[in-house]
Amino acid sequence: MEEFIDGRFFDWVDDAARKIKSFRGENITIVHHNDADGICSGAILSKLCEYLGFSPKLICIEKVHPAIVEKIHEKVDGVIMYTDLGGLAAKMIDKINAGRSYVFIIDHHPAKPIKSDYVFVLDPELGGISGDMFISAATLNYIFFRRITEEAKKYAYIAVIGAVGDYHDRSGGVLGFDRFALQEAINEGQVKIKLEQYMERYYINFFDEFAGVVAKYLTDLGACGYEMEYYRDAVRILFEGFDEKTLKKARELDKLREEKFHAEIERLKSEGFDEGEYTQWFHVGDRFSPLGVKSVGEFCQLIKDMMFVDGSKYLIGFQNMPKIIPDIGEIDWNAVKMSGRAPTQLERMILRGVAPGLDVLVPEASGAVDGFADATHKIAAACVIERGKEEEFVEEFERIVAKSMKNRKLEEQ
Ligand SMILES: [Mn+2]
């Protein structure tokens, strides 16, 4: 870890590779996120484990939460690898793990460093490299794999799909480490760049489709179809290609989501939001079920700049979490997922430093109600809190914004 913070990224990778090899004969469980990048990460990491002689088991989760981590570490023995999530949760995971398993966290979200004999965090954010701009979790796994063997090149196209899945092409093309993976995929004849009005699009030969289209199918299956365990199909198609049955599932989910989102927009238009001074919020309860809890985030993203949304206020949505977690079983909780987004007008204020970002507000507000924040960015963030504490969360959120605005004004004077 220490070396990594100093920026010696590849030393860390070599170190981790050595460590993993020394676990020969043990079980490996890969815990991956259910969005496109998380699915690509699980896929690449499972190939790496296979290459090293392991037969990894995959567990797909929507959120890192102590209750879920507890279940996993109770059920599983051997090495546990978290990917595309967990960076911020290293301490919590280490505590729950209590020396039972060796744990690797291979993530590109903001992370906290940790000193532990059992938990190892590989996260470029700890070395000052933005995981939001230059390296997707899929690319990170690719580079990890690539450092160990050239075999990895076979899967370079999967890194490209993961990076596009996390919108790392939003400035016109992928950058940094993502670009390295892209270049290797091109050299291997897997991907072609096509230009569309100054925007690069990446054509994946294996799928006869653009990376963005493949990523959307992966999200449909993994995120919308989470409760139905369609993420397994998502991982499979990355190696086997599309089949009619899987495509049909994805299209049906797409339609279901469209219907549910449309109905919710109509409801919000007629009933409006609950409003605070700085926030506007709503609760979808179970109305999006059986779609996964990523839906409320996607929904916020979809509506944030619509006419009925106040562009100057934070947008907050809640969705009930199901009690049954596929691959894990029943969790004894009453949990609610919170998604926060900033409409474009507010986004500009946040990026200029005039208003506080969600990366600060959400961890603080969720902490105040004993909730748990994981993936947080300046203009988009999520957390899990206990059901019944939604209003308290919003009050805390309001209070933190007010305090921060006041401090900013004082600084200006
Ligand atoms: Mn990701």
> What's 110's DSSP letter?
-
Rounded to whole angstroms, the Cα distance separating 81 from 152 reads 18
For 88-124, write each residue's pLDDT tens digit. Answer: 899 999 999 999 999 999 999 888 889 999 999 999 8
- The verdict on 53 and 135 lying in the same domain is yes
> Which of 181, 204, 227 is at the close of a domain?
204
Q: Is residue 242's pLDDT more than 60?
A: yes
Place of tokens 């106040």: 310
Q: Classify strands 28-33 and 57-61 as parallel, antiparallel or unpaired.
A: parallel
Using one digit for the tens of pLDDT, what is the confidence trace for 25-73?
899 999 999 999 999 999 999 999 999 999 999 999 998 999 999 999 9
* 135 and 282 inside one domain: no
Give phi and psi for 406, each to the nearest 5.
-65, -45
In angstroms, rounded to a whole number, what is the distance separating the alpha carbons of residues 247 and 233?
10
For the entire predicted model, the pTM comes to 0.90
Distance from residue 314's CA to the centre of ligand 1 (Å): 23
Q: What separation in Å is there between the alpha carbon of 189 and the centre of ligand 1?
A: 25
Give me the half-sphere count of Cα atoms (radius 13 Å) on the Cβ side of residue 124: 21
Q: Is the pLDDT of residue 2 over 80?
A: no
Asked whether residue 365 is domain-assigned, the answer is yes
Q: Looking at residue 163, which CATH number applies to its domain?
A: 3.90.1640.30
Does 69 reside within a domain? Answer: yes
Distance 204 CA to ligand 1 centre (A): 19
The domain spanning residue 355 has which CATH number? Answer: 3.10.310.40
Say whether both 45 and 179 belong to one domain. Answer: yes
Q: Residue 198: is it exposed, middle or buried by C-beta count within 10 angstroms (0-12/13-18/19+)?
A: exposed
- Asked if residue 225 belongs to a domain, the reply is no
Residue 261 lies in a domain: no
Q: Is residue 186 a contact partner of residue 192, using CB atoms and an 8 Å limit? A: yes
Identify any residues that bridge with 201 across adjacent strands, giving them in sequence order: 194
Whole-number Å distance, alpha carbon 95 to ligand 1 midpoint, is 24
Q: Is residue 254 part of a domain?
A: no
Q: Clarify whether residues 187 and 282 are in a common domain.
A: no
Q: What is the DSSP letter of 223?
A: I
Question: Are 52 and 159 members of one domain?
Answer: yes
Q: What pLDDT score does 3 carry?
A: 43
Residues 185 and 223: their CA atoms lie apart, in Å, by 26
For residue 282, pLDDT over 90 is answered with yes
Ligand 1 midpoint to CA 267 (Å)? 31
Q: Within this chain, do residues 16 and 164 fall inside the same structural domain, yes or no?
A: yes
Q: Note whether residue 310 is domain-resident.
A: yes
- Residue 260: inside a domain: no
167 and 282 assigned to the same domain: no
Total structural domains within the chain: 2
Assess whether 191 and 58 both reside in one domain.
Answer: yes
Q: Is residue 224 part of a domain?
A: no
| Structure tokens given for 249 | 């599932």
* 187 plus 315 within the same structural domain: no
Cβ-based neighbour number of residue 244 at 10 Å: 7
Residue 180 alpha carbon to ligand 1 centre in Å: 17
Q: Which residue range is the domain that position 281 belongs to? A: 273-412
Distance 379 CA to ligand 1 centre (A): 15
CA distances from 374 to 138, 341, 364 (A): 18, 15, 12
Q: Report the DSSP pairing between strands 79-83 and 103-106.
A: parallel
Q: Report how far ligand 1's centroid is from the alpha carbon of 392 (Å).
A: 30
* 390 Cα: distance to centroid of ligand 1 (angstroms): 27
Q: Give CA–CA dist 58/45, Å, rounded.
A: 10
CA pair distance 126, 113, nearest whole angstrom = 7
In a shared domain, residues 109 and 198 = yes
Q: How confident is the model at residue 7, as a pLDDT?
A: 55
Whether residues 82 and 185 share a domain: the answer is yes
Which of 204, 220, 248 delimits the end of a domain? 204
Q: Report how far residue 86's alpha carbon sits from residue 140's, in angstroms, rounded to the nearest whole number.
A: 14
How far does the centroid of ligand 1 lie from the alpha carbon of residue 166, in Å?
6
Of 204, 221, 244, which residue is a domain's last? 204
Task: Calculate how far, in angstroms, residue 108's C-alpha sits from the geometric centre of ligand 1.
Answer: 7
Tell me: do 39 and 136 sit in the same domain: yes
